[in-house]
Structure 1
Amino acid sequence: MRLTKYGHACVRLEQDGRVLVIDPGEFSGDEPLAGADAVLLTHEHDDHLDRDRLAAARQADPGLAVYAHPELAAELGAQAVTVGETFEAAGFQVTVVGGKHAETVDGLPDCTNLGFLVDGLYHPGDSLHVPEQPVDTLLVPAAGPWIKLAEVVDFARTVRPARAFPIHDAHLSEIGQENFDAWLDWKGETEYARIPLGESVDLG
């Protein structure tokens, strides 16, 4: 399976000509959705969902499948999925975990957030939920108003993946990225690396 990192929280998974995209948000550009077969949306925030780009992609390809939590699915005319459900998207096995967006302050934003396990890869969206299922590849949120570095390090240690890559990092400067990477490489207790934007790694 090939993993490509796009802006902020967006990744593209490809295998045997099948393409699955997770969280194509406003910082992701047009490229991730080109030729996609299915899209997973963790939640409705603009940095995870660019409504205009998604609508254009669906107009260009009416067969593009989109999966989201029930409220968002109703808004978009997408397929609703819920925590605990396992389904197939673009030929990938997907399990839904989590359920709540991490708190920023005073209980906000208080919205649904789905985490997706896709053939051993875990995208938690805006959450540090630890799934019961084993994780081979962890996508680690790096920056945001709801994130504390110590909690992220503990998240990586608790999940215990074979490897980890950062996502949710558009808010970080180059210096901030280097600092985050140094901490995760030192204390994350996993094989950690950053994927440059638009570049790919083969997960085997």
Structure 2
Amino acid sequence: MKLTKHAHACVTLEKDGTRLVIDPGTLTPDAAEAVSQAHAVLITHEHFDHFDEKLVAAALGAQPRLRVYGTAAVAAALGSHDGRVHVVTAGDTFDVGSITATVHGHRHAPIHADIPCPDNVGYLLDDGTVYHPGDAYFAPDAPVRTLLLPTSGPWTKLGEAADYVRAVKPERVLQIHELMLSELGRQSTANLLGENGLTGRPIDFLEPGTSVQL
């Protein structure tokens, strides 16, 4: 499976001619281009940096075969589009072409008691090849080879991130949701959490537009 990193929380995943895009939000400049080539879009939750409602709605209108998977709030914002918008919750499994996805988790990580926590789901793809948790430190009860780890934002905490990586036990960690970090911040995070730090796992950062084989 090939993963392409886009800005912030958005990634494209490709396998055997199937292409998925996860979390094309308003902070991802090339989100429209990525979605235009996708067979399906997976949304973890409705926050603007993960879900560009206008962009995804326009893509559904322009691409008759496009499917979208997300929480009830995401589906309500988009409408049915002839049954191509699907509500998913923890425990669900679905296939898009050659890629199988399982759904994990329920809620966004807390930011503050005064800020509501929306529903948030994570997607485990291709029998554990890669896991995108959205905005949550939820550890799926399944092996994960590559964990996409959020490393910046109002809800993230380095101590909790370290415990999260220890709980998931992935072979590899890639930083996502890192847009609020400077280059020094990304490197500092990798050093603290990485192979010679708190988790013993290598933590890599990919520049937007970079692809790797998983």
TM interval, shorter chain, is over 0.9
Whether the 8 Å contact between 1:38 and 1:90 is mirrored in structure 2 is no
> 1:199 — aligned with what?
210
For 2:49 and 2:74, the matched residues in 1 are separated by: 15
For 1:27 and 1:188, the matched residues in 2 are separated by: 29
Listed one character per residue, the Cα deviations across residues 36-71 of structure 1 (whole Å, up to 9, x for unaligned) are 000100000000011122122222212110001123
5+ unaligned residues in a row in structure 2: which ranges? Answer: 80-84
Q: Which residue of 92, 95, 99 maps to 2:102? A: 95
> 1:113 — aligned with what?
120
Shift of 1:6: 0.4
Identity among equivalent positions (%) equals 45
Whether the 8 Å contact between 1:20 and 1:90 is mirrored in structure 2 is no
Give the alignment's Cα RMSD to 1 decimal: 1.3
5+ unaligned residues in a row in structure 1: which ranges? Answer: none
Q: Are positions 1:31 and 2:70 aligned together?
A: no
TM-score with structure 1 length normalisation? 0.95
For 2:21 and 2:153, the matched residues in 1 are separated by: 21
Q: Which residue of 134, 147, 171 maps to 1:125? A: 134
> 1:56 — aligned with what?
58
Q: Which residue of 172, 176, 183 maps to 1:174? A: 183
Listed one character per residue, the Cα deviations across residues 101-131 of structure 1 (whole Å, up to 9, x for unaligned) are 0000116332100011111111000000111
TM-score with structure 2 length normalisation? 0.90
For 1:90 and 1:179, the matched residues in 2 are separated by: 39
> 1:4 — aligned with what?
4
Greater mean alpha carbon deviation, residues 37-46 or residues 185-194:
185-194
Q: Are positions 1:80 and 2:82 aligned together?
A: no
Listed one character per residue, the Cα deviations across residues 12-55 of structure 1 (whole Å, up to 9, x for unaligned) are 00011110010001111233213100010000000001112212
SS at match of 1:146: coil
Poorly superposed stretches of 4+, deviation over 3 Å: none
SS at match of 1:150: helix
For 2:146 and 2:52, the matched residues in 1 are separated by: 25
